[in-house]
Amino acid sequence: MSALIAPELVALDADLGPDKHDVIRALAQRVTDAGRATDLDALVADALAREEISATGLPGGLAIPHCRTSGVDEPVVAFARLSPPVDFGAKDGPADLAFLIGAPAGGDATHLTILTKLARALARPEFGRKLRETESAEEAARTILDAVSDAPAEQKTPAAAPEAAPTQKRSLVAVTACPTGIAHTYMAAEALQAAAARAGVEIAVETQGSAGATPLPAETIAKADAAIFAVDVGVRDRSRFAGKPLVSSGVKRPIDDADAMIAEALAAAENPNAARVESGRGESSESASTASESWGGRTRRILMTGVSYMIPFVAAGGLLIALSFLLGGYDITNVYGAVMVDNTITNLPDAQGLGLEHALFDSGLAVYLGALFFVIGKTAFMLFIPALAGYIAYAIADRPGIAPGFIMGALAANLFGVANADGVSAPATGFLGAIAGGVLAGVIAHWVSGWRVPSWARGLMPVLVIPLVTSILAGLVMIVVLGKPINWLMERLTDGLGALDGSSAVALGAVLGLMMAFDMGGPLNKVAYSFAATGVGAASLAANAPELRIMAAVMLSGMVPPIALALATVVRPQLFTTAEHENGKAGWLLGASFITEGAIPFAAADPMRVIPAIMVGSAVTGGLSELFEVGVRAPHGGIFVLFAVTNVLGYLIALAAGVVVGAATVIALKSVGRAPVPAAATS
């Protein structure tokens, strides 16, 4: 394995540009020039993506942009002593010491342990002092390598104080975790340990990072006076800390102010009314209970957790039903039950006898498989609404919320077909009911989890008390209070979608196209996609269902940006850099696969020209898709699910038109008031 850093990866007193994006790209270029990066653009894109999650500037003039990436095969660090300093988002001002840390996407434990040691070294003031005083790149590289060699790989859990000791220190436990688990996780741990030592307090820290985590012993947790959670992701097996006074924050806070967090934890230990870790909370959650999370961010996270777990049900169900129609024809919906019950693989049905004129090759095997695929796909569709509600509740209350959430989702879908003697069904509130029911179940489960109960009853809380009380309360509210109003709203929404035609449908398609292209995988993109995906799951089986047309508009619009930019690099290569040409080559396949994020490198480099251009192209495609009444039953797959498309010709025309318009617009905008990129850069 190559050394983590070498002199050629060091820049002293360097001006690498006015902002952090320039610094990251310059350091990544240095890594590439040293032969340590396999893909410059991947390294830059992944580092910038991590920067968007939270700023990597740290107190004391440090910046640690870092990522796990396919752009490197071995861990690597590039270091720059910046002159002038550059703002990386630290509260105390710009950074003059910047470390670009790249870890291979599939890095093993050795790789990650090395980076863990470096992260811990960064938390020590003498480390930064040496790097500011050094006069040579060789000495700077040696200082960093010495820190990696000498720093402890992991803080061991302190041994319990002997019971006979005359005085016993106060004891705390902590968990630190960040999204990538490379730097902040370990720096936060180091900062908490240093602050605890200054306060004369014992602390045991569990770092839930990429190098793995060694769970704190149960006896260490039991004797702790309070717990600190400094996390930007969910705490694994959170229920181990149930009942402990809790101080929680994002992972950066202890790096900035560890002394205050230690003091707050000690105060919480003395306060009978302090917040506590909820009883019966389950294993790792998609959510992070951080003090800094805004209500808007929390709401979006909760809804997107439910949607992310729901989408596999919709995707599997949609593709299976599309395959069933491919094999057995649309008429399979009339006979699937009889085929499944009456036939077997050795007793195949008669396609002609069943009136299946569109069965593939009039094959009995195709009909039989089509019927089975339809049953499996329909079952998946029946479960997507309960899954949406269940995992919304999970995002709020962790594991105790899952069962009540699923029950609320089943009520929202009227899963068991409750009806009166005249055949009138109970209100089915659909995905709106699932969202309301999931939130209701999560809030109630979270509230019940916080009840203070005797120690003998704690084991009953997650398996009996919480699901029972939550299901009763939330179920009664859903049926008695919310059922009919939400059902009325769903009927109006369904009627409104069914009435869309002409200009109104085209306008909706254009708006969805704008949303898909604006932030390329960001919040607006996800809102549009979630709206379409839930519609596919709730759609009727008719090929012309309006929900299927919305899904087509969204999918096609999301395919346009990468393909349009790829086309632009071919038509006017002199307007694009070498890196953009490489991104353009990948853009063809990414766009065809419905991966809108393939356009991000172009937008990051030139947002004022690229984003408006691809929005125009996607809006054209979305509008044309609705105009041509294109429908698609599969919620993902792009060009590779044409068998699930209604009006394939319209699908291809809408896609081609948006790509051409988007490419032409970006070429026009890049050509106005801007000199062409030098020929050397495009060769």
According to DSSP, the β-strands at 95-104 and 62-63 are parallel
Active site residues: 66, 178
Sign of CA dihedral 106, 112, 115, 119: positive
Query: What DSSP state is assigned to residue 416?
Result: T
Strand partners, 632: 645
Query: What DSSP state is assigned to residue 479?
Result: I
Q: Closest Cα partner for 52 from 79, 88, 22?
A: 88
CB-count burial class (<10 Å; 0-12, 13-18, 19+) for 56: buried
Q: Closest Cα partner for 636 from 676, 589, 594?
A: 594
Cα 518 to Cα 616: distance, rounded to the nearest angstrom: 10
Cα 531 to Cα 553: distance, rounded to the nearest angstrom: 12
CB-count burial class (<10 Å; 0-12, 13-18, 19+) for 608: exposed
Percent helix, strand, coil in the chain, to 5, is 60, 10, 30
Q: Closest Cα partner for 546 from 498, 496, 489?
A: 498
Amino acid letter, 186 = Y
Cis (ω within 30 of 0) for the bond into 75?
no
Structure tokens at 295: 């209500």
Where do runs of H (alpha helix) occur along 34-183?
Answer: 40-53, 109-122, 125-133, 137-150
Q: Closest Cα partner for 595 from 563, 551, 566, 622?
A: 563
Q: Closest Cα partner for 426 from 437, 436, 415?
A: 415
* Residue written as token pair 């699923």: 406
In 529-638, where do the E strands start and end? 631-632
Q: Distance from first CA to last CA of the chain, Å, rounded?
A: 33
Is residue 100 within 8 Å of residue 31, measured between CB atoms?
yes
Where do runs of H (alpha helix) occur along 594-640?
Answer: 600-605, 607-627
Q: Closest Cα partner for 385 from 457, 450, 438, 341?
A: 438
DSSP letters for 66-118: EEEETT-SS-EEEEEEEEEEE--S-TT--EEEEEEEEEETT--HHHHHHHHHH
Beta-carbon contacts of residue 294 (< 8 Å; ≥ 6 apart) = none
